[in-house]
Structure 1
């Protein structure tokens, strides 16, 4: 065990850890959890940054972790390949060759300054489950997928790997560029892929029986409830906008009643977003704001800010936006400003399939927790994209302080053991009643 991980585990150990000896928990699960955590430490060494974890799509680090995880997949008995979009896949045949597959997985790419477990935990847990399954014993094939791009860090568009698998790849994405001006198409060629054939990664709907993803919660609710695992009910509907308030840039000597200050208007607009969205129970975030001309003695004439709005349903998201837009237009009118709204992203809510949720519920019950909490996922996941081709469900895993996308991201070995056990039991539950 590395010194860094030992510190993280001491910090993350909950007051009421999962009892690994509870009825239904598989003997040896803690040893499997230790192996998973050691593997996560190994993957953390494959980084483009000397000061933290950074691993982006179609990079040399992406290629290296495929070599490492591919070997672990083969050790688990899986036949491996890299698909046309750069996702790493492994397959274990069922009672006969060629059956539709139950897909388990998550992603291996990271944001800059990432933690060890966002995405990685789900891939490694899936490999651990596959290692428990004997070939030819399930009424479906079992596949593990490690998606190459969930975060969108390099090319600015998220879920590229899972959208390729789901058949929703847009060939226009080949023209996207990274911060160095390299196009996605050129990066794909350097990685050994043919950008014209990325659409061949798409799976036919009949080739899959479902998709299960284990993922750290990225929030504090499970920790606050003293629970190791939770069931995801849905993934947020989202909309993003770029909003611009235009007033008049003038010298700071301008009297108050003559000012049309775009930045003070934006400040009121941001507080309006907080007030309205908070009252309606919808997460809303202004993550970026810019003012121009940017001189210390000049009243800003233009202020531009981002807005990320999410909700459990499309209807709640859209109703909240309608209320917000009316309020923002009022702010602009009161201050003599002009509001411009440019939509930049829209994603519908994704609801987990009851059949797969029931299997995960049975899986959590097998760890000794008969009443798994249900959670709405504010964060987006590969599950959202895969839902375009098959039924989906997600298992959330407690993470210390709800911290994610940061080096302090951590989990406990007991919770990891419970994750492997629950995911395995869910596979067996589905095998008893296949679709």
Structure 2
């Protein structure tokens, strides 16, 4: 068999394993190890497994992953994320669709702490769905808002998706974080506009919430100041060059822990629970990264990237046409695969093509991460929809999928804008 046939068979097997829900890391370990064994011998496969495991485990840049995860988990157990929602609720809750708007804003703020879409959807679902149900919001709107708003966790920095992309493509984590800020704000604005349009067309789906006094607004805003300080410290520190991403993660984690201890909202038991969750999540990410470093050499040995690159060049679609084809492939895969699996499976193939075309890998990273977000709410797999279903048990799954469709359209429109205007993604990284 030729290397290309072995590579195609390996990737087909990997895709099949992922579709039947074999854990991502184990599927990649098996295919990558056996593939390298076939193409380059058992000694090469075992040697690469040992060297890549040690190399990744000793990589100081990866400290950013557990620190940002810990920061988000501690912020969740101390109630900091709820305070941000309360501030948004007090400010705009009295508007038509105000609770939905407050939920989206709260999701955006929590995303800036947790970097996790699943955590954002779960936390805001527990917080906001009961409130919207109490004020007779349409279940379709309320669940759709939470599922879609939770996707902001993978785009607004610090984003685990950007960290994984940076490691797989050897790009700067700090520049990717900066590149996600304006697109994140643009997507948040698109979600807000979507809610306003829906509630204007059908006022009954998003009734006005209770009015709040100036004193209540002031108290709610004061409660949100700590989370705003964390965002300014971490993202502002990275942008100014005062902190590296790793240092910013350490400062952010230390701040939320000290704040929680001083406020007595963080007990030893809750801290232990947050630390355990952080360890489990970090271990999962590390396993995926180690497995990815087996898949990448296997794909390279198969010469598939070169052959696919030649095929795309032969189609003569041009720079933007080829980019659009790749993004469509990501959208289709997003209907069936989990985001990290998509990154690991596709980047070894598509990144050489992107670089050959002269497309900025930072810009491409933002576009890819946004398409991963779309997959989080795309049927039939959309994981955020199932997360919301676990909280809103009485809402039919089909209703939640219908609820996210207007927001999927908003994400598609945002993606089109980012493709048409690359500087939205590249301006802040260029100013660093």
TM-score, length basis structure 1: 0.28
Higher strand share: 1
Q: Report 1 or 2 for greater relative contact order, CA contacts < 8 Å, sequence distance ≥ 6.
A: 2
With normalisation by structure 2, the TM-score equals 0.28
Structure with greater helix share of residues:
2
The structure whose Rg is larger is 1
